[in-house]
Amino acid sequence: MKRKNTSSIKTERATLALKVVMILLFFSGIVTFFYPFLASAVNSFHDQSVIEKFQRDYALLNENQKKERMDEIANENKKLLEDNKLTNIPGMGLIEDPFESSLENIQNVEKSYFRKHMLGAIFIPTINVSLPLYDETNDVLLDNGATLLQGTSYPIGGPSTHSVITGHSGLPDKRIFTDLNKLKKGDMFYIEILDEKLAYRIETFQTVLPTQLNSLKIIDNQDLVTLITCTPYMVNTHRLLVTGVRVPYSDNKIEKQKNGTTNYLNFRMIFLSLLFLILFVISLYKIFRIVIYYKSTKRLYELEFRVQKNKTSLAGVPYYLSKNKIDYKNGNVEGIDFRISGTDGKVNFGRKLGGRYYIYTISDRSHPLFLADIMSLKGDAFTVRVKKHRLFMDKKNSSHYSIRNGE
């Protein structure tokens, strides 16, 4: 008899340990699945904070400082026109492909580095993109937003300018330009740089090799911006060029679109964070309940309750106690103990080892199934409750049951 009890205890321990492992594996799977989405959402939320801080800091500059910065950028654009209207683009022998170059001279990059190189922001509402825009392309800046390809026009608008803005695609924790291939002709994107707000309508798409970028030259009297990223997704053998032509900036409509993008990104971060937190709490609770279950099986608790049907105490009703779910279809309705309710509706099964028990009756098919659990190790009695899913109630004649622990 002792051997049987010892074997049963070992089996129960193994079952509980397996449940804990399964919960941990489930949560690990959830973390693995949700990480790219949550990380992307958090990074997008951070991008909005960076953009807002830049806008606040720029607003604090005096007019002379703003004019000096704008004149400096405008002069850089003029120099490009003097150079035979060419841009220093990859494939023309002046700099390497932006997605294959490395930043060897910068280590332990500080926030001041990003502030120094930040120009403004780019918004693409159709694909919910809202990114900081930096003034040169390198590994560090590419990992933190969109970047202006050095040697191309600064995106401040004006005839005979052609800005090239680069962005990564396929990063595990950031979207950046991953969805650029989902854009269509006629879609809009917007650029805010210093005091300028510019709108561009997408006109052309090209997929080319990294060395075939002649279409990025400046064109007489045209105000162009080309967005560039790697393609195909995760293969990156080619470059996707999405070129937009400047159109008038309509404040009300555009601000509404930009705000919609920002709100979407913020909502996504909050929603995914809450969902992740809820799943984490549920997993912890499940493990906590398993620990309570295991510890409660070491001692005895009082199992007693009173039951009423339509506010009338049930007397003379046989109740069965079982450690397993009831299988009525196969006629398995046996229990490990049996009691009959008294005139006051009280049912007393005495002191039982902790854990979970199922309490049922076969005298009336409309009775619900009761559960007896140990909810806290501090108490001395089981908590008895009605199982929400009434396995064998007659739906046509369902009755209201009230149940409370015995006194």
Q: Which of 98, 92, 101, 111 is nearest to 54 (CA)?
A: 111
Catalytic annotation, pick one of 117, 162, 168, 367 = 168
Say if CB 353 and CB 299 are below 8 A apart.
yes
Is residue 168 part of the annotated active site? The answer reads: yes
Contacts of 377 (CB under 8 A, 6+ apart): 292, 295, 296
Q: Which DSSP letter does residue 332 get?
A: B
Task: Give alpha helix (H) positions in 304-396.
Answer: none
Beta strand pairing call for 146-148 and 161-166: antiparallel
Say if CB 393 and CB 368 are below 8 A apart.
yes
Q: What is the 3-state secondary structure (H, E, C) of 220-246?
A: CCCEEEEEEEEECCCCCCEEEEEEEEE
The Cα–Cα gap between 368 and 387 comes to 7
Which residue type does 182 have?
Answer: K
Q: Which of 213, 239, 207 is nearest to 94 (CA)?
A: 213
Is residue 389 part of the annotated active site? The answer reads: no
Residue 390 sits at the vertex; the CA angle it makes with 386 and 391, to the nearest 5 degrees, is: 130
The dihedral over CA atoms of 131, 248, 201, 84, expressed in degrees to the nearest 10, equals -90
3 state DSSP class of 317: coil
The Cα–Cα gap between 299 and 297 comes to 6
Contacts of 84 (CB under 8 A, 6+ apart): none
Catalytic annotation, pick one of 46, 117, 162, 230 = 230
Residue 303: CB atoms within 10 Å: 24
Catalytic residues: 168, 230
